[in-house]
Structure 1
Amino acid sequence: MSFSDLAAGDRNLVAVAVEVLAVPSVAFFDEARSADMTQAEHDRLAAILPALATIEVAKISGGSDIGNSFVVAAWNAERLKYHAPSVELVRQSGADILLLSEADLGMARAGNRHTVADLARDLGMSYVFGVEFVELGLGNSRERERHKWETNSVGFHGNALLSHLPLQDAALIRLDDGGTWWTDAKDGQGRIGGRMAIAAKVETAFGPILAVSVHLESKTDVEDRARQTRRLIEAVERLAGDLPVVIGGDFNTNMLPSGSREPRAHEPLFGLLAEAGYHWETGNDFAYTRRAGPDGVPQPPFARLDWLFTRGLVVSDAVTVPAVDADGVAIADHELIKARFSAP
């Protein structure tokens, strides 16, 4: 059954693929900026945005011959602002599949580029991109100051999955009901949308797998992260069936003690994933993944926020890779993580 069939009647799944996402009109932004910051207004505005109900899919012909194993990397690229060093970081990682979060499309802070399309083009990868938030402004307080004389050309911020291997099907999974960054825009960063994941069926040398790029909410607590994870697991069960699964991304697990290798006692989401048959012990090296970004923010103490989970695959060679350029200068506020996967 196709993802489109599975998504029919399920408000948490989006499987309508387009070549180019629809850009909101100037009139829409004017209306949104004058609207009340209530949940009802957020939901009304979100419902008339086609970009929140579609995914952008671009497939290259053919695919890589990678043998009987493949490398999956996950990276919160913090807007994906630095194109050339980002291309080199991903290339050097050897990633066959990249699970990417915090990527901009038409945001002044990232040069008003389609950062995912640019990255995929220069790496020779197919991609799926979905909008997490439509940004009403230039970003957080530091970004608003840095780009105060500039204008967004589009205003999209989202998550993506890139692959050297053939993509068969794709979907967006809504992880919450949206509105958190609208009704709680205390810092002036008004956003329409909510947290989500991008899932894709990927063809490997030993058959298809489901790969999932995840970004959980940062302005929340352990109980809410568990709720989002429960919704994620339910959606993945529908999409994957009996396929092997790799899930990775930024889980914002900020309650984990330093160096903890038994996270279930501190973050219930690990227990939920374990009950669903997922493993993380060999797919992660437990190093910190948060780091000071290009502007020196945040500062220590850091934590491991980014994780790889798998079911039905053998995993090895887990490593955390510094997100820096050739001179050692940070290009994001999260490190890249990666591991190698193979058939049991």
Structure 2
Amino acid sequence: MSLDMEREWRWSEPMLALGTLVLIDVLRVWLPSVITIFGAAGSTPAELMGGFALLWFLVPFAVVPAWGRLSTPGKHTLTGAAALGLGGCRFALTFVHGGQSQLYVASAGLLCGLVWLAAQAIDGVAPVPAVPAGAVLAGVQHLLLGTVDLTWRGTWWAAAVAGLEVLLFLSFAFRPPWNLSSGAAPGWSLVGPTFLLTGMALLSPAAFTAELSYLAGGLPRDVSGTGVAEPVSLWLWPLFAVPVVAFWRGATRLNNLLPEPGVVAGVLLVLGVGLYMYVPTHGYGPLARVVAICCAAWGLGRCLSVAAWGTRHPAARTGTAALGGMLLFAAATVAYYAAYDIGYPNRWVPVAVAGYVALRALRFAGKGDHVDERDLRWSSALLPAFVGILVFLAGSPPAPVERPDARSLRLVAYNIRMGFGLDGTFDPDAVVRAVRRERPDVVVLSEVDRAWLLNGGHDTLAVLARRLGMRYSFAPAADPVWGDAVLTDLLVAARESVRLSPDGAPTGAQALGVVVRVGGREIAVVATHIQPPPGRPPLVQVREISEFATRFGGDRPTVIAGDLNIHPGDESMRAFAENGYGDSLAAFRPLRTFSADRPTEEIDHVLARGGLTASEPSVGTTTASDHAPIAVTLLVS
């Protein structure tokens, strides 16, 4: 390689790393926009949403055959326009919030980003180490932002940071394209799968800290309830450096200290992703899942590095491979999350993608590995260092309070739709304002998302709990990072969760019980989100919830609250009453909560037994979700 080509190569690395960061930022807005705006949170058929999403990944394939027909200035113009479109749309999204404008600005940014990515692949730019560097930057930035993107911050400094990122990217991007005579670099087919695996778990700070919260919830203490997550100190967030460093070292440092390193990396990747997807969240499961994330992160990084060290390809083939990998990202994302609307097993999807990455890497295993024995020793020193941080810096979330003179409990039940408002804007501050207005003692939340890639990878629960100054108990429903929660600043005496039978409904459901102490009394609060089967009442889940609440509550006053998806007078409401749980709000109806902008349905409820009397009911007027929050004061007799 000539000196000029080597300089261009080095110039391309920061450009590709920053472009990867910007593209991931656009994806974090585009993915939830498809669901909340185009899909209107489930009212659009899943097949139509999937087709709309895949269309944006198919159109850029037209660049590959057209590239060979373009002159050098034409290639320069196309690449520069795509980079400018990607950067411009990314910056615009810090100001364009909600509605069709958000959806199509994000879609235009995605389209430009894919065209730009394909141009880099065709032009001979190597994906490693720049793409891994961009993924690391995206993950670390998300952690530092508390998993709330710059897009949703709504502050001058967020716009300034986003603008700086875009300017840095464009300053590197406006360079004449080149094509190395030896052909285009391999490994581009793994970029899309890397985005999927890192976004879902391996470099997702929300997924990692959610696992830490399961670990915290399972530690021995007076409060019982394994498999229920509770908040962890912000001081533990630096532990995210373990999977980050593992991924980075795997991607940038090859060595042959291990026998068949490519095979070992592939096995660790598939095994780690499989453990993360299938190991439960109770017992030793959370610890196994944390270890699985770290091992799989190293395995993914190593597979990327091995695949990028192979034989160079023809330019057109590499461009097709890059776009094909991104199409795989889109198809796998649709396949995984559409399962919650259509109803089929989906945990195999990330495992299959990990298997694809491992098989691609095996083609190049053992060919040209670098030897650097210092790497293994340097990396192995990280884990003890961060375990030391875990022991030394461990702090606590807000301490619970005692209210010995209290004779009532103010409760809010709110389906927060993962924190996205009716206009498709992620606005946790609006949720906090709606809840705080009621001055609650206990908050029951439904549709709580803690790391879904589809929704941008936010830990919505941790964000809300910090801003409300409350502790949380969280139990999974659809998967380990989507479910229901109870927030409170009261003392918690016990916790327990139970899975509910799906009974024909595709989205998983559960019941989470939390015992709080108020005024010298203990009150059991059961949070749930009923998923009715198509065409018939959810009597199976009603029976299971009633049985669980009665057993868990014992002789305590007991409340069942949440989005029950049933109406007053329904057969299901009568079934609850027959089991001793009366409608606390019956005397104050109508109290309509859905849809939040023009409420016509009463499907969010508070049911009680054991001498609790309701007063001061209130329905919020916010559109921070598709449901309005409902609040009530429960007097303890």
The answer on 1:336 being equivalent to 2:336 is no
The answer on 1:231 being equivalent to 2:533 is no
Q: Residue by residue, what CA displacement relative to the aligned partner does 1:160-186 show, whole Å, maximum 9, x if unpaired?
A: 1101211122111212147743xxxxx
2: CA distance, partners of 1:86 / 1:221: 32
Q: Residues 217 and 339 of structure 1: is their aligned pair in 2 closer, same or farther, counting only changes over 3 Å? A: same
| Runs of 5+ consecutive residues of structure 1 not aligned to the other structure | 8-13, 49-57, 135-154, 182-192, 257-262, 294-299, 325-329
Which of the pair is proportionally richer in helix?
2
Q: Secondary structure at the match of 2:582?
A: coil
> Which residue is equivalent to 2:592?
288
Q: Residues 22 and 319 of structure 1: is their aligned pair in 2 closer, same or farther, counting only changes over 3 Å? A: farther
Kindly indicate whether the alpha-carbon contact (under 8 Å) linking 1:75 and 1:99 is maintained by their aligned counterparts in 2: yes
Q: Residues 273 and 15 of structure 1: is their aligned pair in 2 closer, same or farther, counting only changes over 3 Å? A: farther
1: CA distance, partners of 2:584 / 2:347: 43
Q: Secondary structure at the match of 1:84?
A: helix
The structure showing larger relative contact order (alpha-carbon pairs under 8 Å, at least 6 residues apart) is 1
- RMSD of aligned C-alpha atoms? 4.2
> Which residue is equivalent to 2:574?
271
Q: 1:217 aligns with which of 531, 548, 552?
A: 531
Which of the pair is proportionally richer in strand?
1
Q: Residues 288 and 22 of structure 1: is their aligned pair in 2 closer, same or farther, counting only changes over 3 Å? A: farther
2: CA distance, partners of 1:64 / 1:128: 18
1: CA distance, partners of 2:519 / 2:447: 30
> Which residue is equivalent to 1:158?
483
2: CA distance, partners of 1:61 / 1:89: 23
The answer on 1:124 being equivalent to 2:469 is yes
Q: 1:83 aligns with which of 428, 436, 440?
A: 428
The answer on 1:315 being equivalent to 2:618 is no
Moved more, 71-80 or 309-318: 309-318
Q: Residue by residue, what CA displacement relative to the aligned partner does 1:79-108 show, whole Å, maximum 9, x if unpaired?
A: 123211111111111111001001111234
Q: 2:495 aligns with which of 166, 170, 182?
A: 170
Q: Residues 292 and 99 of structure 1: is their aligned pair in 2 closer, same or farther, counting only changes over 3 Å? A: closer
The answer on 1:302 being equivalent to 2:600 is yes
Residue 45 of structure 1 deviates from its aligned partner by: 6.2
In terms of Rg, which structure is larger? 2
Kindly indicate whether the alpha-carbon contact (under 8 Å) linking 1:59 and 1:127 is maintained by their aligned counterparts in 2: no
1: CA distance, partners of 2:617 / 2:286: 34
Q: Residue by residue, what CA displacement relative to the aligned partner does 1:83-136 show, whole Å, maximum 9, x if unpaired?
A: 1111111111111100100111123454422111111111111101122223xx
Q: Secondary structure at the match of 1:290?
A: coil
Percent identity, aligned pairs only? 25
Q: Residues 20 and 75 of structure 1: is their aligned pair in 2 closer, same or farther, counting only changes over 3 Å? A: farther
2: CA distance, partners of 1:109 / 1:218: 23
Q: Secondary structure at the match of 1:100?
A: strand
Q: Residues 321 and 60 of structure 1: is their aligned pair in 2 closer, same or farther, counting only changes over 3 Å? A: same
2: CA distance, partners of 1:169 / 1:15: 16
Kindly indicate whether the alpha-carbon contact (under 8 Å) linking 1:15 and 1:170 is maintained by their aligned counterparts in 2: no
Q: Residues 235 and 21 of structure 1: is their aligned pair in 2 closer, same or farther, counting only changes over 3 Å? A: farther
One-letter amino acid of the structure 2 residue matched with residue 197 of structure 1: A
For residues 1-344 of structure 1, the aligned pairs below 5 Å read 22=289, 42=345, 60-63=398-401, 65=403, 67-81=406-420, 82-108=427-453, 110-134=455-479, 156-177=481-502, 180-181=505-506, 194-223=508-537, 225-253=538-566, 256=567, 263-264=568-569, 267-282=570-585, 285-292=589-596, 302-312=600-610, 313-322=612-621, 324=622, 330-344=623-637
2: CA distance, partners of 1:20 / 1:290: 39
Residue 15 of structure 1 deviates from its aligned partner by: 7.0
Q: Secondary structure at the match of 1:302?
A: coil
Q: Residue by residue, what CA displacement relative to the aligned partner does 1:289-321 show, whole Å, maximum 9, x if unpaired?
A: 10156xxxxxx7831110001112122111211
Q: Residue by residue, what CA displacement relative to the aligned partner does 1:242-277 show, whole Å, maximum 9, x if unpaired?
A: 010011111112xx4xxxxxx33xx21211221122
TM-score, with normalisation over the residues of structure 2? 0.38
| Runs of 5+ consecutive residues of structure 2 not aligned to the other structure | 1-221, 229-280, 300-328, 352-395, 421-426
> Which residue is equivalent to 1:11?
none
2: CA distance, partners of 1:303 / 1:289: 6
1: CA distance, partners of 2:579 / 2:617: 22
Kindly indicate whether the alpha-carbon contact (under 8 Å) linking 1:72 and 1:340 is maintained by their aligned counterparts in 2: yes
2: CA distance, partners of 1:17 / 1:278: 35
* Matched pairs, number: 275
Residue 70 of structure 1 deviates from its aligned partner by: 1.6
2: CA distance, partners of 1:4 / 1:86: 27
Q: Residues 222 and 102 of structure 1: is their aligned pair in 2 closer, same or farther, counting only changes over 3 Å? A: same
Kindly indicate whether the alpha-carbon contact (under 8 Å) linking 2:399 and 2:489 is maintained by their aligned counterparts in 1: no
2: CA distance, partners of 1:177 / 1:80: 24
Kindly indicate whether the alpha-carbon contact (under 8 Å) linking 2:492 and 2:517 is maintained by their aligned counterparts in 1: yes
Q: Secondary structure at the match of 2:541?
A: helix
Kindly indicate whether the alpha-carbon contact (under 8 Å) linking 2:473 and 2:487 is maintained by their aligned counterparts in 1: yes
2: CA distance, partners of 1:163 / 1:213: 13
Q: Residues 341 and 106 of structure 1: is their aligned pair in 2 closer, same or farther, counting only changes over 3 Å? A: same
2: CA distance, partners of 1:16 / 1:310: 31
Kindly indicate whether the alpha-carbon contact (under 8 Å) linking 2:561 and 2:604 is maintained by their aligned counterparts in 1: yes
Kindly indicate whether the alpha-carbon contact (under 8 Å) linking 2:413 and 2:562 is maintained by their aligned counterparts in 1: yes
